[in-house]
Structure 1
Amino acid sequence: MKKYLLIIAVAAAFYACKEETKNNVEEQVVEKEVVEVKYKSFGKEIMADDAIAANSMLTHYKDLKVGDTIDTKVKLKVNEVCQAKGCWMTADLGDGNEVRVTFKDYGFFMPKNISGEEVIVNGKAFVKEMPVEELRHYAEDAGKSKEEIEAITDPERTYSLVADGVLLVEK
């Protein structure tokens, strides 16, 4: 019996002296850097919330027929801006497609040097059969050569958007 008491006493002493290891779960604090994007506003004041991606807008355009119109707010990358006065711009929709954006009632214009910049555009989207004269006018505004303008001989089905407000990401 003394052996058992001695073993229990040694075990108790060993257990008491044993360094306590706790399975503390260290909380990892993940700090997300919140980057506030600042915008310069043109036209009607709009919010950046709820803007859809360009490729989603392309899907909507493919479902539209000439004459259909939908209200939209879309995030786009500018391809080209009217070099005469900034009265229109084209933007990438993905898959080699682009949208021509004009501004409601010519109420505002965009800076001419924003090619490659990101914008959020709010307005009415529609599909249009653009006549040759209008295509040539836009080509002239874009600074195309006389030969490029004269090469336009057929009307074109285009994706269009009349914007009432635009946000331009400030750098």
Structure 2
Amino acid sequence: MSKILAFAGSNSSSSINYKLVNFTAGLLSDHNVTLLDMAAVNLPLYSEDLEKNEGFSAELKEIKEAISNADALVLSVNEHNSGLSSFFKNLLDWLSRYDRNFLENKKVLLLSTSPGKRAAISAKEQASGMLPRFGAEIAATFSLPSFYDNLKEDGIIDPDLNKSHKEAIDQFLAKI
């Protein structure tokens, strides 16, 4: 049984990426999954001066500790203006300054979703390029287009998308 940390790269209280992470985490019942809600996280915009003068917040250290204690991550990234959200980029900036290899030896199931048909794939691609720089291995990926049409209470309704989601989970679990 692996310890898996699941969270979204969004700090929105109504994040659809968090909803996708929560749904996905619910399918990992054979593992010890911790769901982290980033809506309550309050990190100031990263600056070298702030780091030098105030150091690293207790909240950042707690997130880093949660990542360190996990064997693997389920992460869903949202997209703002064809890139990662400023919240998630800021989180990466802080974490990488605290410990450059904060994702060392972590397998990642990288997800993305959006209300539109592109499913935040630009943000997912950007994250796929960045996370390995901090030690992560992208074990599998999945993008869910048209979130509100495709994810309902009983799951992903499009059979092909549902199959792709399950295959991504299976690929991820095979690597942890």
- TM over 0.5, shorter chain: no
TM-score w.r.t. length of structure 2: 0.23
Q: Whose radius of gyration is greater, 1 or 2?
A: 1
Whose strand proportion is higher, 1 or 2? 1
Greater fraction of residues in helix = 2
TM-score, normalised by the number of residues in structure 1: 0.23
Higher relative contact order (CA 8 A, sep 6+): 1
